[in-house]
Structure 1
Amino acid sequence: MSKKVTRLKYTRGIKGRRWEAVFSKRVSCWRNEVVAVGIAMLCACTSVVKVDVPPGQEVPARFQEAPASDDVQVDLANWWNEWSDPALAQYVVEALHANTDLIIAQARVREARALAAITESTRYPAISAVAGGAHGFGEMRHPLDGYDDSLGLDSYGSGVTASWEVDMFGRRSSDAQAFVQMGKVAQERLRGTRIAIAGEVAKNYLEAQGLMRRFELLCRRVSTLHELQRYLDARYRGGYVTKYDLSRVHEQISAIEAGLPVLSSDIAVRRRRLAILAGKPAQEASPLLAPVPFRVPSAPTGEIPSTVLERRPDVRAAAASVRAQAARLGSAKAELLPRFYFTFIGLDGRVRFDGLPTLLGSGGLIGIGASLPIFDGGRIRSNIEANDARLEAALANYDKSVLQSLEEVDNAYGERRALDGRSKALNKTVRLSRLNAREARRLYDGGQRTLQDVLAARIDLLRRQDELVQTQTAQGLATVRLYLALGGGWANNGDAASERYSGDDVKVKSHAEMQPTSR
């Protein structure tokens, strides 16, 4: 301290007022010193520990499979609305409000934020109020005359204590920063859970729709085969067809009928799964509505890798994990540096002895200390090495998440484009099969074809329609995977009703800002 402290002599007067006056004078003399020490320590609370983080994964400028940009705007935050299916939108909204996984993720966000607040509190002084009292009694006897003399003691005291580890080299602030970043990790995982739930709902809904459409087509196919069976049976009795022809129809009917219970069970599985996703018991699953006409939204255009990586919660969480581990490494390095402590105790009390004047007084104690590790068996150095390895692993995990994200997007675009081509070809095939069925009926009506030809053409049309339904279902599921790969399903606009947590949202940053930075 720059100012010389006058050493005060502790004196006790006969009367308590004298004792109190002396200590009041001392406390006033220490006040300026306490303020000076506090200001000096506050000014010194800056981190000098630097952690260099290697640069992250290089990002390509464009996707290979993404279509060229057009003027069509897609609402990625609520991509399920692109189907224009109110039932699908209702299922998603219900799940985003009541899903148990979302509630668990929300609780983990609150836990992470509370832990960050706890760690942040260690950077500041801890102040406590203390108070207490005591009563003592005793009895003295003279060994000769048996004279008794009872003595009593009463004391009361109260005061304030304060302790503070001055964050001179940023150890505490690094710990706090690490927990803040882990809170962001939990928040991004909450967003990832929201995206996954929306995708799971859409997947089960579209699969159920496709299975119901297939079930209807297969039932119509079985009905047509039964009609063909009756026709061939009559011709068999007349000797116009062989038993082999009749057996083939029997075989087709048996094969299709064997698959119908499985399809019905698969539909019920999706129906119960939709109830579970909405936080309801499986036994309370609502009946599924009749299939709506097939529609699949166009693939989003104009997406580039940098914007996708900014949007994907898994990449954002990995980047926050790198920043958290860099802060932990900075805290570990700060363990090599001195620690400074500041303590204060201020008391005011009263002591009364029977037969003596009551003593009143107040006083205080100010302490400043420092500690520097000299020998710890290599514990601090090993902890630094461990945290450095964890930082390296966190950065590798970030790079891995970036690479996987880029792969998923191109794979999803490629799959969607391939299914678009197959769907287009099958639509053409179905149109030709429908024309053939009409032509067969016309020829039959003109006496140029048999009923067997008509029924065979109708069965062929139903088979082609079944193939188209399966392809369209796969097309819809590929679209869902594409939206998930693009990070769609959340908006940075305080959508608390959908994300089921309150508080300020993390601002969407550019990809450069998402890169782990040095402290």
Structure 2
Amino acid sequence: MLLLAGCASYSGIFPAALRFNERTLADKSVPYANWPSENWWQELQDPVLTKLIEQALADNPGLQAAAARLRRATAIAGETESALAPQIEASLSSTRERFSERGLIPPPYAGTTHNINDLQLAGQWELDFFGKNREALRSALGEVRASEAEQQAARQLLATNVARSYYNLARLLAQHELAETRQRQRLDLAGLVERRVKAGIDTRVELEAAQGVIPENARDIAALDEQVALARHALAALIGKTPEAADDLAPKLPAIAPLAVPKTLPADLLGHRADIVASRWRVEAAGHGMASTKAMFYPNINLRAFTGFSAIGFDQWLDSGSRQPGIGLAISLPIFDAGRLRNLYRISAANVDAAVAGYNGTLLEALRDVADQLSILHSLDIQMERQQATLASAERSYGLALQRYQADISDRLTVLNVETGLIAQRRAAVDLQGRWIDSRIRLINALGGGFAETAPSPADKN
């Protein structure tokens, strides 16, 4: 094979990056069922959220751009595939010309003016003995598969962002409601302390302390108003609408339910991550691209055939005597090109290295992402269990204080002070609930969101 490559040689050029074996990085002892499902958001049983995600998948500009990239990759693959088939073209020309008296044209045409007419049908077929065009097609098809997977990754990321923004808005609205409750409670407390000061029971110190938290809480409400507005604008942008489109949304945080997820990394994680599948196809495409470039060092063989009519003048142009058929074989071999082919091959090797490095980085990031979300959910389960106990204690304390007040054993001030602690615990519980649903959605995204590869993956073919 090296002898066929002439003076131009690809020796000494090869990729340097090593691809991780993803199957050795996951815990194969852990079974992994079909979770999450493809339309995982429907399991949250929120019709409004489902409608918003469907709108986003239909109207989001980023997703439309991903679809355009897929169409572009498909068109490039079609154009590349055409090189494997014979090419046929027709040509027609008519040129009026004066023939030189001292040129190649002999008398009686020398020194006269005539029309030179040509009608030709020509065909050409590049015989792909060394696989240059076949490898180029495989590379282009790999790019198509990668674009398909990237489109699915974009869909999954968009659905994830819509769900996260939706429940972030729900958390902020719940916090806003509690902040307003706290403000009303603070106003009641300040009014009570003011009456106690007038009665000589409390001093101005207690009054200033009670009144000082009112503007502070009003500031917090204003900050929450801002965050709610920004959350609505972000959600509207995700679904491809103008900022006011989400003004009427009033989502609620879902109830916390146990998740049947593995405690360690699942063995078939990679089949559920569209970005990893896309990276695998990029590596595959780069490898075929390098093989196509390598074939350029070998002879290029073209078979050409043509037929037609050629004549001087119109009167005998289409006569049988004007027929001009022919067939030929052309072989070209690179001898000296000032290093052009070697540099092209170096570029191909660098493309493989870049694709492998991108795959390795995507794989490690995916594994870290899953591990992070599993750790966060495990920690949140513990935190919420402790918070529920704390909240239950605060509710019991408030109930007892209210009973004592109603029985004239304690005063209203005690009830309001205990209620302050109860509201604080409810706010902490809302934050934990919001973090839990957010982490659950992020885990769904980390596990691929139910993505399943339709084409056989490069790893499965090896």
Please report the TM-score for the alignment, with normalisation by the length of structure 2. 0.86
Inter-CA distance 241–462: structure 2 relative to 1 (3 Å threshold): same
Aligned to 1:223: 184
Q: For 1:406 and 1:93, how far apart are their aligned partners in 2?
A: 29
SS in 2 for 1:377: coil
Bigger CA drift: 226-235 or 293-302?
A: 293-302
SS in 2 for 1:341: strand
The question of whether the paired residues in 2 share the 8 Å contact of 1:315 and 1:401 is answered with yes
User: Any unmatched runs of 5+ in structure 1?
Assistant: 1-50, 139-150, 493-505
The question of whether the paired residues in 2 share the 8 Å contact of 1:433 and 1:460 is answered with yes
Q: For 1:355 and 1:233, how far apart are their aligned partners in 2?
A: 119
Task: Check if 1:298 corresponds to 2:262.
Answer: no
User: For 1:388-427, what aligned pairs fall within 5 Å after superposition?
Assistant: 388-427=349-388
Kindly provide the amino acid, as one letter, of the partner of residue 410 in structure 1: A
Q: For 2:229 and 2:132, how far apart are their aligned partners in 1?
A: 57
Q: Which one of 191, 196, 206 corresponds to residue 157 of structure 2?
A: 196
Inter-CA distance 337–74: structure 2 relative to 1 (3 Å threshold): closer
1:489 Cα deviation (Å)?
Answer: 5.1
Aligned to 2:217: 256
User: For 1:25-64, what aligned pairs fall within 5 Å after superposition?
Assistant: 56-60=20-24
Aligned to 2:108: none
Q: Deviations over 1:39-92 (max 9, x none)?
A: xxxxxxxxxxxx99966335347559x9x8799x74521111222111111111
The question of whether the paired residues in 2 share the 8 Å contact of 1:433 and 1:464 is answered with yes
Aligned to 2:86: 125
Q: Which one of 311, 326, 330 corresponds to residue 365 of structure 1?
A: 326
Bigger CA drift: 105-114 or 320-329?
A: 320-329
SS in 1 for 2:93: strand
Task: Check if 1:513 corresponds to 2:460.
Answer: yes
Bigger Rg, which one: 1
SS in 1 for 2:376: helix
Aligned to 2:5: none
Q: Deviations over 1:403-441 (max 9, x none)?
A: 211111111111011112211221221111111111001
SS in 2 for 1:301: coil
Aligned to 1:88: 49
Aligned to 1:385: 346
1:348 Cα deviation (Å)?
Answer: 2.6
Q: For 2:314 and 2:357, how far apart are their aligned partners in 1?
A: 72
1:152 Cα deviation (Å)?
Answer: 8.0
SS in 2 for 1:102: helix
SS in 2 for 1:298: coil
User: Any unmatched runs of 5+ in structure 2?
Assistant: 1-13, 100-111
Inter-CA distance 358–326: structure 2 relative to 1 (3 Å threshold): closer
Inter-CA distance 358–364: structure 2 relative to 1 (3 Å threshold): closer
Inter-CA distance 252–85: structure 2 relative to 1 (3 Å threshold): same
Q: For 1:88 and 1:295, how far apart are their aligned partners in 2?
A: 15
Aligned to 1:79: 40
Aligned to 2:404: 443
Q: For 1:295 and 1:356, how far apart are their aligned partners in 2?
A: 87
The root-mean-square deviation of aligned C-alpha atoms, in Å, is: 3.1
Task: Check if 1:486 corresponds to 2:440.
Answer: no
1:322 Cα deviation (Å)?
Answer: 0.7
The question of whether the paired residues in 1 share the 8 Å contact of 2:170 and 2:253 is answered with no
Q: For 2:18 and 2:256, how far apart are their aligned partners in 1?
A: 43
Q: For 1:486 and 1:263, how far apart are their aligned partners in 2?
A: 32
Kindly provide the amino acid, as one letter, of the partner of residue 254 in structure 1: P
Q: For 2:71 and 2:387, how far apart are their aligned partners in 1?
A: 51
Q: Deviations over 1:436-461 (max 9, x none)?
A: 11100111122221111111111211
Q: For 2:328 and 2:394, how far apart are their aligned partners in 1?
A: 94
Task: Check if 1:209 corresponds to 2:170.
Answer: yes
Q: For 2:432 and 2:178, how far apart are their aligned partners in 1?
A: 14
Inter-CA distance 100–297: structure 2 relative to 1 (3 Å threshold): farther
Q: Which one of 97, 107, 112 corresponds to residue 58 of structure 2?
A: 97
Q: For 1:322 and 1:279, how far apart are their aligned partners in 2?
A: 33
Q: For 2:314 and 2:25, how far apart are their aligned partners in 1?
A: 86
Q: For 1:254 and 1:277, how far apart are their aligned partners in 2?
A: 35
Q: For 1:173 and 1:356, how far apart are their aligned partners in 2?
A: 42
Inter-CA distance 352–160: structure 2 relative to 1 (3 Å threshold): same
Please report the TM-score for the alignment, with normalisation by the length of structure 1. 0.77
Q: Which one of 430, 442, 448 corresponds to residue 391 of structure 2?
A: 430
Q: Deviations over 1:461-494 (max 9, x none)?
A: 11100010011001111011100000005456xx
